[in-house]
Structure formats: C-alpha cells, structure tokens
Structure 1
Amino acid sequence: MSVALQGMIGWGAFSLLAVLSLMLAAYGFYVRAPGALFRALAMGFLLAALANPVLITEKREPAPDIALLINDQSPSQALDGRSQQASDAEALLRKKISSLPNLELRTATIRGSADGTRLFEAVQNLLRDTPADRIAGVILLTDGQVHDAPSGAALAKLPRPVHAVLTGDPKRGDRRLVIEQAPRFGIAGDTVSLSLRYENQGAGETPDETAMLSFRLDEGKPQQIRLRKGENHELEFKLEHAGENIVTLEIEPLEGELSTRNNRLALTINGLRQRLRVLLVSGEPNPGERTWRDLLKADPSVDLVHFTILRPPMKQDGTPVEELALISFPTTELFIQKLHEFDLVIFDRYQQGGVLGFSHFDNIASYVEKGGALLTVAGPEPLGGDSLYRTPLAVVFPGHPTGKVHNGGFKPQLTDTGLRHPVTSSLPGANKSVDPGDIPQWGRWFRVVETERLSGHVLMASPQGMPLLILDQFGEGRVAQILSDHGWLWARGFEQGGPQAELLRRLVHWLMKEPDLEEEMLQAQEADGRITIIRRSLLEGPQNVKVTYPDGHSQPVAMTVTAPGVWQGGLEAPEPGIYRITDGVLKTLVA
C-alpha cells in the first residue's frame, strides 16, 4: 500500500501557492493577528486538497526472464554428426531451463540459405518482440560457420551474455581452397591468371606443408601442381573459346579430414572475342555483295578484308595493262601466308577464273580441317568448269550441286532440323512447323541451286524440298553453304523483307563455335538457390539427367520439352559446392 499525490494543478503553481501560504501564515503569527491559527489551518487544508493524495494498493506478479536459443541446422552441421549434437544439446537445455523458476525459453532453428548461415539474423528476429529488460541471455548451438557475425555498433547492441555451444570434434581438421583473385572475363584465345592458396582449419601446424592441386579447364586434361600452405600461387589458363569457360580446382585431402567439400571449387570465366577477322571474296559485282559488306562492317568487332574480282586474268579484251586501274589480287599473301590469321572465309558467287590455283584451294581445305570456318554463297553457274566444286576444296562441302538452277518465286522454309537448330529456330516470321499450310511470313527468293546433300544438316529448304542452307563440320572446322544468291532481297525489304541480318549474325557466330549456338548443348545455371538445366539437341532429347551433389550422392532430374529441340529441368541447391550434371553424352557443372 502506498500514497501518491495526483495534484489538481501543476506542481510549479502548487509550489508557489504553498510558499505564499506559508509566508502569510508566518506573518499572521508574527503580528499576532486574530484568527491566524485558523487561517493557517484553512490554507493547509486547501493545499492538501490541491495535492490530491491517493491511496494505492498494488498487486504485483513477477514477469519471467527470457532466454533465446538458436539451433544451427545449416548444411555444414550435417558433417561429423554435428546436427545430432546440436539437437541433443537443445533437448538438454530445454530440460534444464524448464526446471528453473521465472525463466522462459524462446527458440529458433535455421536451415541455411544461398547467403550462408544467417545465425545473428535469427537472433534479431527473436529480439523484435522481446522486451530488452527481460532478456536473460542468448545461447547459440553452432559449429562456428557463421556468415553474418556482427561487428562495431551492431555487436555492442547485442544483449548480454551470449553463449556459443560449438559442435564437432576440435581435433579434426579441414582443408579449404581460397581464391584471392580471379577474372570474370577474358579474351578468347588469350591467357588469364588467377591467384589462390589453401589453408588448414583446426589442424595442427606442420612446417613447410605442401599439397597437390589438380585443375582443368572445361573437360580438358587435368593438370597438377604442388602448393605450399598459406602461400599465394598463380595459375594460368588459355581461354579456348568464347562464352563460359569453367575452371575446376581440387586440393588433395588432409589426413583424417572432416569433409572434402571445401577442397573443390569451380569458377566460370566468360571468354570474349576481341576481333573477328573475315576475308570476303566476291567473284563478281552482284546485288548481294553490298549486303554482306554493310552487315560485316556495321559490327565494330569485325575486321573485314573484302575483294571483288572485277577482271579475271583469263579475260582478254584488248585493254592495255597500263590503262587498267586495278590492283592485283594478293593470292599468295592471303591464301598461303596469312590464311590462318582469318577466323572466317566467305566466297560470294566465286568461280575460279584463273585467280586462285589448286594449291590455294588445297590450303583452304587444310585451313578448315584444322579449325577454320568457310561460308559459300552459290551463284547461277554452280557446276561450270570454274566451279569451286571442281577444285580440291570440294571435299569440305556437305552438298554438291547437280548442275540445275531453278528460277521462280518461293518462300524459304525451315526444315524439321531448322526448327530445332539454334541458328534458325525462332527466326522472326518463320514457319512454326513443317506442315505445308504453315507458310512463313517473309518475302520470296527467286533462285535456288539444286544440290544433293552428302552430309551435314539442312536448316532451310524450298517448298519443293531443295536445300537452301546446309551446315556441317569438317575436321575441327565448320562449313556453311547458302544455295541461293537472293538473300539480299530480304535486306532490301522486298515483300516486307526477312530476318537476313539476324540469320547471318547467327550463322557467323555458329561458324565461330559460339557456345550459345551449339546444336548439342547441356547447360546449367544457378540463381537464388535453384539450378536450372537446359539441354538442346537435334535428336530426341533425354528423359532425365543425372545430378551429382557436392556430397557425392546422385539423383535423376526429369526434363520436359519447352521448345522444339529444347528440354529443361530444375532442382533446389540446398548446399554450396560443385554440382555435376550429365545426360550420358554431355557433361557440365555448376557451383
């Protein structure tokens, strides 16, 4: 029971009134005024009434203190029985705390995420609805692998005390690779370097310790190098192609190591093509050569060397040589000495005409077989005596003309293979199927060279089934044949035109072996803790692929058709590390 004053006026005014009353009462007693005592008592009663004393009776119930318990069940806790240790510790603490008076237990369990183990984020979530003056302490059941440990001001705001109960065996060590520096991009064909080291955690110190590192680029041959513990080492790789280049690294395990997951790493380095060197040879002036020149010169990454044969050496018209304003064609320099410097050679309606000899054509065939790229555009005289098909270069061509040329309007159509191949699939205005009633929404061409396909894939054809575009691989190189010289009509907008620029862009990139345009491709990407798998094929695709997790166990993943020639599947990635994916033919990995 207690008395509280709940004044009717402000305490400042009450104090002033009390002082004045005291002074008046003192003065009355000093001069011995009649009734001074009664006046003093009246003022006292008045002041007491203004103070408004209240009698308070309280009934208190003590609120219990609160203890916070966070159980770490992230993927690292699955090692060495740590998860069970944490669960046993939680059960024991629950039992102990329940026997203590005036103590409440609030708990949270974390499973880990793509951002790692967010242990203190769980602590903050529990603190949101917990009064600060009631917190008795925080208990963390963890292996110490935490990715959001606070520091500075955030650390000072944590409630005290904080207890960490560590799981695992302190005598068992763990070895891990640490990437100090690695490029995200590089020029295809150039060498890039990365810096790395390895370290041991929880293991005894061994002077001058070394370990063997195995590494390889994509599915190439593994290489090995011995590293010294704690020292940075430089590794160099040559980016073999544009697009994704995957580097896998693995350090030999420590004796009695807790887990080998940290011993493996995978890095993706994107290869960029610096400059594309193209040699374009037009056999004669024609409407299509300007289209080729404009298309290739519009791309700043293309270095174009273009020659047009205006007057073949065999031509005899009586014009004196000194009056000819023509430069000689540097055949030896281009086709013997410097041919290997070009990424792509294009013959546009070219015929021999005595300009190139058989030795030149033989060298071009060798260039393609060793990894070069060749594109030819057939003209109206496909099988004359000066035809390319009567030279040593004929061995690289997947199709050979029959000698017939068909003139008349028609709309090029995608074949069943063309609907699946990334060079032609989803071209704007293309037919969606091979049904005769499915007519493309682009302009007509008016000439096709009748050709017998010997190998390769026909992506476009006339309505009568005559090939218009054939792609093939010859040795390590690639070859494309366009069997009509009327593609320029699309660029000129005839009958609303067609996607010539996009078709030729894809065609050139396929000839350059761009990974995104490979017809047989297995690709995987990770985002927000989920892996998406894409398989592209000209054949019947796989029903499923096999995924091997970082801990070594495997499971099949069903693939479904999302577009002609494209299958897709996906799975959750609950733990960090390298996931290896295969359909039995192709392999890839993602980290």
Structure 2
Amino acid sequence: MTAQDIAFAPLVPWAVLVPLALVALMLAAYGLFRRARGGWWRLAGLAVLILALANPSLVTEKREPIRDVAVIVVDQSPSQKIGERTARTERAVAALRERLARFPDLEVRIVRAGGGDGTEVEETRLMEAMTRAVSDVPRGRLAGAVLVTDGQVHDVAATLPSLGDFGPVHALLTGDREEGDRRLTIVQAPSFGIVGKDITFTIRVDDLPAPRGGGDGGIAGVTLRQDGQEAQMLAVPLGEEVPITLPLSHGGLNIVELTAEAGPRELTLANNRAAVVVNGVRDRLRVLLVSGEPHAGERTWRNLLKADPAVDLVHFTILRPPEKNDGTPIRELSLIAFPIRELFEMKLSEFDLIIFDRYKKRGVINNMYLANIAEYVERGGAFLEASGPTFATALSLYRSPIGTILPGGPTGRVLEQPFKPTVTEVGKRHPVTAGLTDAPDGVGSWGRWMRQIDVSADRGSTVMSGAEGRPLLLLDRVGQGRVAQLSSDHFWLWSRGYEGGGPQAELLRRLAHWLMKEPELEENDLRTAVDGSRITITRRSLEPDARPVTVTAPDDTAQQVEMQEAGTGQATGTLIASEPGIWRVTDGEKSAVAVVGAVNPPELADVRSTPEPLSPVLRQTGGGAYWLEGDGSGIPAIRRVRPGRDAAGSGWLGLRGNDDHVVTGVTQTPLLPALPVLLLALGMLLLAWRREGRG
C-alpha cells in the first residue's frame, strides 16, 4: 500500500522567503494595477522564482495497514441459563465470528465472562471483561464491541467514565421481549440473635413487571423451613414488605429457607428462594451445680465454670445431711437456706445445664424434685452427673427418678487403682473427645486418675474408658435433652496439674456445648461451609460413612458429590458453585443448605432480558441494542463506518474503521529542478523587461 503527498523544503528559511514573496507579489500586483507593460510576465517570473525557492517535492510513502480490533463479550452468567438464552448466545457468537471474518482489516477477540469463577458469581461484570480484553490495544485501533447478553450487566456505572473513545458498543439481547418473573427478596434481616429470643426479618414477593396502576397484586404462598425442620406455609401479599418473627433455637448458624410458589409468568425459580442466615449467640449460660458433699475436687467444677465470663453459675454444696445432728447452729451452716422448691420446681426451666457432683440420696432433695429434673431433661434440658463412691451403694442417685435418664448403671464395684483416661474408638469420632489426643491407642500424655466407679453402659455412647477398660464418660440423648455421665470423682487431678494434668478445660467446654446442642458438636450431622464459590460438605458420624451426597443447585439440577472418609468421624467433599443462591445437600437421611453469594445477589434480583442497564454505555458510544429473535442466528448486518459517523441503525450495526497504518519506507522526488526553473524565471523577467523597454 502506497500514499503520495507534496512536501516543501525551502532553500531559504520561511521567515525570509514569505516576506520577500509578499513584497514581490505586491510590486507585481501594483504594476498590473497601473497597467504597466510586461506586468504579467513579471508576475509569472516572480511566482516561478518563489516556487523554486520553496523547493516542492513529491513524497511517496510505503504503508503497512494495522488491523483494527473488535471484541465479542459472551455473557455466561447464571441468568443466561434461562430458557433458550444459552443456545441463542452460542449461535449468535458463531454467526458473528463468521461475518467478522470477512473483514481482512479486523482482528476479533472473544472473551467469556460471568461464569461463576468465585469473583463474578454474585453479579455480571461484562464491561470490566470487555476493557480488560483490549487493555493492550491503543484506542486508535479499537473498532468497538458486541455484547451477547440478556442485558443484566451490573458494572456499567463503574466502567462508563473510563471508556473514553472506545468505539461503538452494541448489545445483542438473548431473551424475549416482555418477559415476566416472580421474585422473593429479603428486605431486612439480622446477622445475629440471642438464643431463646425471637428474631424478626422482612421479606417481599414481587411479580415483575408490577401491575399497572399499583393496587392489590394478590397473594403468594411462601414455604418457610428453619434448620431443615418441618415446613410452614405463609400467605404473603404481593408487592408488600412482610415481617416474620421466629424463635432462635440454638447457637451457631441458624438457616431459615424461604420458597415462594411459582408465579403466573415465571422465568426461573432460582430467585423464588432466599435464605436468612443468623448467628445464634447465648446471652449467658445459666448453670446449676449441686455438690453432694465437700471433697477435694469440689472447687474444680466451680473454678472451671467461673473461668468463663459467659457463664452464670449457681453453686450449692450440701455440708450436712438432715439426719446428722452435731449441734452446729443452723445459722452457721450456710449463708442462705437451700432454696430447694425455688430451684427444682419454680425456676428449673431457666437453667441451661444442671450438674450433680458426688450427689447421693440423703433426703435433701426428695424424689418429686428429682423427677422434675428427669422431666426437664426429657423436654430438652441438659444434665451432667459426676459419680462418687456412693454411686455404687444403695444411696446411689441411680436408684432415684434420675436413674431413668442415666446411661450407665452401677455394678457395685469401686475401682481403687491408678489409670489413664482413654479415648475409645467411638470417642475418636465423637466431637466431644475427637482430637484430644493423637495417640493411636487413645491414651494422651496426661496424668492418671486414682478412682473409678464401675458402671455398665446400658445405652448411649462410651467416649472414654478408664480402669480395666470400663466406661468412664458416657453420652446419651434422652427425649429432647441430653445427658453426660462421668464415673469418677478424680477429674480434679488434671486441674491440679498432677503428673502433668490434662485437657480438663477443653473437655468440659466441649461437653457443655454438646449438652447445649451446639451444631458444631453434633456427632451425627451434615453441614456445609461456603468460601467464595467453594462449598465444603462435612458429614460427621459415629460409624464410617463414605456414601456420596446429592447436591441440588438453585436451578434444580442435581449432581452427586463423592465424600472422603478421614477416619476421625468426618467425611468431606467439595463442590465449586456455578451460580449464587441456595444449594441443597442431602444423603438420604440428613439434609443441609449452603447459601452461596449474598442474600439478595444482583444476578438474581431481576432476570428479565432488557437493554435498560446498558443504555448509558450505548448512548455514550453510539451503539445499539438488538433482540435475537428465534434461534439467535439472525443477527443484524455489520458495516464498517468512519469515525464520527452513525454506528447503529435499523437492521445493522457498525464497527469503526480507523485506517491506522505503519510507514515502512519513504521516497522523495523534487518537482522543480533548480537550474531549469531558475533559467525559466530569468527568461520571464527578461521578457518583462523587454516588454517594458518597447514602451
């Protein structure tokens, strides 16, 4: 490719040549005005002389054209999976690639964005992908861009100021005109709440587009399920904010799943579901500790519990049984009278945990009150019993109404011998004792205990054993409550640091949390954790269980996820979420949900196909929006347009032609050879002089 132009290289500086030329031309013009003889010859000679001094030449450039760059941005966001949008998108991209290949001066780049790679799972960021794809290209080479999308793009406002002279940006819309959809939105929800108190959140159900003129939009049925429990049905007015109040039943994550029934015009059910995730925290843990008699380890329980600032402890020690009469004045036995009726009848339900330490039947607490404790556990309470030597006698607490909830019964033996508490095979998998020691035999590098009351494990799980391999720590579920039984009164040796001590604080913390039904300490449970778009599934069980789980995506597609057994009571599996929303997990017996992304992600806020979000960038760049009708192959005609010209019209779209090039060679040819031109000018001046001389 060549191009020619005329260039001047004056023999004298322009600052000298121009004034001289003006003076000469003015004198010649004056002569013509006076009709002097030879005036025209004088003018011609001066003009030739001035042109010769300007030294014009013909410049010929050899140019190598540089191709313009156009970018096709393919929207792969979750909303593009609705209906025929994905198929239309792929056919439109194939047609664009074919048509743009006909322009030899055009380089086409195709970039796919919004595919749920962990950073774009909550919103569609096509503009960012578009500018990043051509970040190495000068703006003078950009031909423009074509976005193949449903129009729901969420980074237009952030990118618009930096576009500048990008070139026309066009949108090919993959959805259908006048689409409708139903949407469930969490308007307001707390991030945490107090266990045992109510939480209130607000929801809204809308049918899009909203009814013209407003007014009553009808009623939508909404299913509410809290922590996978039995579903509740709610009737929610359309287009109104509705508050919902629920009790917070446990600590840790509480997940409330809401599902709105399908609307009359429904694009997807993915935005008919939403979840409220509330972290339950306990205001104060109220513990009642009853010590049956003073002993060396009595204050161990008290000190461990009082060390936790979140624990409100009520502690009573029975110093003297009623049948003992040693003459001690009543006023010197205790600071206050033992409020038996108030504790075990009137305010029993206010306690979160009841601990009996070396208690024996002595008539202080009668069977009616002990039966109240058993009923308290059946209704969901927590009870811990630490046995002393009298547990093996006729005064044993097992021979009271409490015996109906204890998992271990006394055999009558008291084992007075040193032993190291051992984590059993079941205990290695139970969250209360798992990980207390890494030793294969379950015996940690901790101190020995010296006494154990022999019990037979009638039910529950034996997570620790002691002397002669007999049950030491038993855990059981009773009705809606839970019971722990420690068949030794030498727990205090660890607290005193005997032979190095042991993990008494961690063991008691886990034990109390398990009794309080904290979700992270459930021994048979299915849980999920979300990190970006990665879902980690954890199944805890007392028996090895490597069965795969079924994971259902927000769009109701299901897949199997393999679980890897770790040998510590947990089997784990991972999955990369391809879209935001609620993912449901089940193994056939237990179920869980994982909330990926925000509670109300922009990607699911409105899934209708529309050019409105892209209108600002279309107006600024001169592009247009076009609907892909039918199967999506009928894209508009494509033209190359000059900069500054219209780039969009009815049935066609334009990409800018910049005609950029690189000069590879230059040749310069003088147009007026110096000697011939000088002779010509002198000849004309002589003719002018001769003409004047004749006059």
TM over 0.5: yes
Aligned to 2:74: 71
The structure showing larger relative contact order (alpha-carbon pairs under 8 Å, at least 6 residues apart) is: 2
What are the equivalent positions in structure 2 for 1:150-229 lying under 5 Å apart?
Answer: 150-151=157-158, 154=161, 157=164, 159-201=166-208, 205=212, 207-210=215-218, 211-229=220-238
Residue 39 of structure 1: aligned partner? none
Cα deviation for residue 433 of structure 1 reads 3.1
Partners of 1:320 and 1:101 lie apart in 2 by 111
Cα gap change, 1:577 to 1:153, in 2 (>3 Å): closer
Is 1:368 the counterpart of 2:377? The answer is yes
Aligned in 2, Cα 1:131/1:321: closer, same or farther, shift over 3 Å?
A: closer
In structure 2, do the counterparts of structure 1 residues 492 and 322 end up closer, same or farther at CA, with 3 Å as the change threshold? Answer: closer
For residues 79 and 329 of structure 2, what CA distance do their matches in structure 1 show?
86
The residue aligned with 1:38 is: none
The normalised TM-score by structure 2 is: 0.75
Q: Tell me the alpha carbon deviations over residues 472-506 of structure 1, each in whole angstroms, 9 at most, x when there is no partner.
A: 11111111111111111111111111000110110
One-letter amino acid of the structure 1 residue matched with residue 408 of structure 2: G
Given residue 520 of structure 1, which amino acid in structure 2 is its aligned partner?
N
CA 447–303 in structure 1, closer or farther in 2 if over 3 Å, else same: same
Amino acid at match of 1:372: G
Which stretches of structure 1, 4 residues or more, deviate above 6 A after TM superposition? 3-7, 14-19, 51-55
Distance 1:469 1:343 in 2: 20
**Inter-partner Cα distance in structure 2 for 1:135 and 1:54:** 34
CA contact (8 A) 2:211 2:217 kept: no
Give, as a single letter, the amino acid of the residue that structure 1 aligns with 2:468: Q
- Structure 1 segment 401-480 matched on structure 2, within 5 A: 401-427=410-436, 430=437, 432-434=439-441, 439-480=443-484
Greater shift in the superposed pair: 242-251 or 193-202:
193-202
* 2:255 paired residue number: 246
Deviation at 1:266, TM superposition (A): 2.2
Amino acid of the residue matched to residue 188 of structure 2?
A: Q
Q: Distance in 1 between matches of 2:577 and 2:501?
A: 46
Q: Is residue 2:590 matched to residue 1:586?
A: yes
What residue in structure 2 maps to residue 575 of structure 1?
579
Q: Which runs of 5+ in 2 are unaligned?
A: 22-51, 596-695
After superposition, where does 1:58-97 map in structure 2 within 5 Å? 58-97=61-100
| CA deviation vs aligned residue, 1:284-321 (integer Å, no higher than 9, x gap) | 12221211111111111110000111122211113344
Q: Note if contact 1:524-1:534 (Cα within 8 Å) is conserved in structure 2.
A: yes
- Structure 1 residue aligned with 2:301, among 289, 292, 315? 292
Identity of aligned residues (%): 49
Q: Deviations over 1:511-541 (max 9, x none)?
A: 1011111100101122232211100000231
Whether 1:482 aligns to 2:486 is: yes
1:106–1:343: structure 2 CA closer, same or farther, 3 Å change rule? same
Distance of 1:140 and 1:202 partners within structure 2? 24
Give the alignment's TM-score, normalised by structure 1: 0.87
Cα gap change, 1:119/1:127 in structure 2, threshold over 3 Å: closer, same or farther? same
The letter of the residue matching 2:170 is H
Specify which of 310, 313, 321 is matched with residue 312 of structure 1.
Answer: 321
How many aligned positions are there? 556
**Correspondences of 1:67-146 after superposition (within 5 Å):** 67-100=70-103, 102-113=105-116, 114-146=121-153
Task: Give the SS at the match of 1:159.
Answer: coil
Aligned-partner Cα distance in 2 for 1:112–1:322: 77
In the other structure, the counterpart of 2:507 is 503
CA distance in structure 2 between the aligned counterparts of 1:277 and 1:54, rounded to whole angstroms: 102
Q: Residues 392 and 414 of structure 2 are in contact (CA less than 8 Å); yes or no, is this contact kept in structure 1? A: no
Query: 1:303-382 maps to which residues of 2 (within 5 A)?
Result: 303-321=312-330, 324=333, 326-382=335-391
- Partners in 2 of 1:416 and 1:397 — Cα distance? 22
Range with bigger deviation, 101-110 or 345-354? 101-110
Give CA deviations for 1:340-395 in whole Å, capped at 9, x if unaligned.
Answer: 11111111111232211111111111111111111111112223343212212111
Q: 1:53 to 1:376 in 2, by over 3 A?
A: farther
Decide whether aligned partners of structure 1 residues 6 and 407 sit closer, same or farther in structure 2, where only a CA change above 3 A counts: farther
SS at match of 1:233: strand
List aligned pairs for 1:385-404, cutoff 5 A. Answer: 385-404=394-413
Match of 2:427, SS state, is helix
Rounded to whole Å, the distance in 1 between the matches of 2:5 and 2:427 is 94
CA distance in structure 1 between the partners assigned to 2:206 and 2:421 by the alignment: 62
**1:14-70 per-position Cα deviation (integer Å, ceiling 9, x unaligned):** 899999x99xxxxxxxxxxxxxxxxxxxxxxxxx99x99998531234434333221
In structure 2, do the counterparts of structure 1 residues 53 and 504 end up closer, same or farther at CA, with 3 Å as the change threshold?
farther
Task: Give the 3 Å change call, closer, same or farther, for CA 340–52 of structure 1 in structure 2.
Answer: farther
CA distance in 1, matches of 2:9, 2:429: 88
Structure 2 counterpart of 1:259, from 264, 268, 286 = 268
Q: Give unpaired runs (5+ residues) of structure 1.
A: 23-47
Higher mean alpha-carbon deviation, 130-139 vs 533-542, is at: 130-139
CA contact (8 A) 1:174 1:203 kept: no
C-alpha distance after superposition, 1:528-572 (max 9, x if no partner): 322111000002313211112222232221111123211111122
Q: Distance in 1 between matches of 2:336 and 2:193?
A: 39
The C-alpha deviation readout for 1:48-106, integer Å capped at 9, x for no partner, is 99x99998531234434333221213232221111121222223333333334644433
Contact 2:421 2:443 in 1 (8 A): no
Which deviates more from structure 2 when the two are superposed, residues 109-118 or residues 578-587? Answer: 109-118
CA distance in 2 between counterparts of 1:335 and 1:471 reads 23
Alignment partners' CA distance in 2, 1:465 and 1:518? 25
- Range moving further from structure 2, 376-385 or 517-526: 376-385
> Which residue identity does 2:305 align to in structure 1?
L
Displacement after TM superposition at 1:172 (Å): 2.9
State the alpha-carbon separation in 2 of the partners of residues 440 and 272 from structure 1. Answer: 32
* Counterpart residue identity of residue 185, structure 1: F
Contact 1:284 1:349 in 2 (8 A): yes
For 2:443 and 2:303, locate their aligned partners in 1 and report how far apart those are by CA, in whole Å.
29
**Matched residue of 1:262: which SS?**
helix
Residue identity matched to 2:455: T
Shift of 1:336: 1.1
Cα gap change, 1:322/1:484 in structure 2, threshold over 3 Å: closer, same or farther? closer
**C-alpha contact (below 8 Å) 2:286/2:351 kept by paired residues:** yes
User: Partner letter of residue 592 of structure 2?
Assistant: T
Distance change >3 Å, CA 203–CA 64, structure 1 → 2 = farther
- Other structure's SS at 2:153 match: coil
What is the CA-CA distance between 1:462 and the residue it aligns to? 1.5
- 8 Å CA contact retained: 1:283, 1:347: yes
State the alpha-carbon separation in 1 of the partners of residues 493 and 347 from structure 2: 34
Q: Which amino acid aligns with 2:558?
A: S
Larger Rg: 2
CA-atom RMSD, angstroms? 2.8
- C-alpha distance in 2, partners of 1:165/1:218? 43
Letter in 1 for 2:475: L
Q: Is the 8 A contact 2:122 2:580 kept in 1?
A: no
Q: Distance in 2 between matches of 1:407 and 1:54?
A: 119
1:448 CA displacement: 0.4
Residue 419 of structure 1 deviates from its aligned partner by: 0.8
Give the whole-Å Cα distance in 2 for the aligned partners of 1:418 and 1:99. Answer: 72
Q: What is the CA–CA distance in structure 2 between the aligned matches of 1:226 and 1:217, rounded to whole Å?
A: 17
Kept after mapping to 2: 8 A contact 1:579/1:589: yes
- Name the SS for the 1:244 alignment partner: strand
Give the structure 2 partner of residue 528 of structure 1: 532
